[in-house]
A and B are shown apart, each in its own frame.
Chain A
Amino acid sequence: SAVISQKPSRDICQRGTSLTIQCQVDSQVTMMFWYRQQPGQSLTLIATANQGSEATYESGFVIDKFPISRPNLTFSTLTVSNMSPEDSSIYLCSARGSGELFFGEGSRLTVL
Chain B
Amino acid sequence: GQQLNQSPQSMFIQEGEDVSMNCTSSSIFNTWLWYKQDPGEGPVLLIALYKAGELTSNGRLTAQFGITRKDSFLNISASIPSDVGIYFCAGLLSDSNYQLIWGAGTKLIIKP
User: What residues of chain A have their CB less than 8 Å away from a CB belonging to chain B?
Assistant: 4, 31, 33, 41-45, 48, 58, 92, 94, 96, 99-106, 108
Q: Report whether A100 and B45 are in contact in the complex, using a CB–CB cutoff of 8 Å.
A: yes
Q: Chain B's interface: helix, strand, loop or mixed, by majority?
A: loop
Q: Closest Cβ of chain B: how far from A5's Cβ, in Å?
A: 11
* 7 interchain pairs, CB-CB under 8 A: A33-B98, A96-B98, A99-B48, A100-B48, A101-B98, A106-B40, A106-B42
Q: Closest Cβ of chain B: how far from A40's Cβ, in Å?
A: 9
Q: A44 vs B88: C-alpha distance in the bound complex, in angstroms?
A: 12
Q: A106 vs B99: C-alpha distance in the bound complex, in angstroms?
A: 18
B71-112 vs A, Cβ < 8 Å mask (1 yes, 0 no): 000000000000000001000000001111011110000000
Residues of B within 8 A of A58 (CB): 99
Q: A95 vs B38: C-alpha distance in the bound complex, in angstroms?
A: 19
Residues of A within 8 A of B44 (CB): 103
A42 interface neighbour in B40, B97, B98, B103, Cβ under 8 Å: B103
User: What residues of chain B have their CB less than 8 Å away from a CB belonging to chain A?
Assistant: 33, 35, 40-45, 48, 88, 97-100, 102-105
Residues of A within 8 A of B100 (CB): 43, 45, 101
Residues of B within 8 A of A106 (CB): 40-42
Residues of B within 8 A of A45 (CB): 99-100
Chain A's closest residue to B97 (CB) is: A48
Residues of B within 8 A of A100 (CB): 45, 48
Q: Report whether A105 and B42 are in contact in the complex, using a CB–CB cutoff of 8 Å.
A: yes
Sample of 19 more A-B contacts, CB < 8 Å, known A42-B105, A101-B100, A103-B43: A33-B98, A43-B100, A43-B102, A44-B102, A48-B97, A92-B43, A96-B98, A99-B48, A100-B45, A101-B33, A101-B98, A103-B35, A103-B42, A104-B42, A105-B41, A106-B40, A106-B41, A106-B42, A108-B40
Q: Chain A's interface: helix, strand, loop or mixed, by majority?
A: strand
Q: Closest Cβ of chain A: how far from B62's Cβ, in Å?
A: 19
Chain A's closest residue to B45 (CB) is: A100
Q: A67 vs B98: C-alpha distance in the bound complex, in angstroms?
A: 20
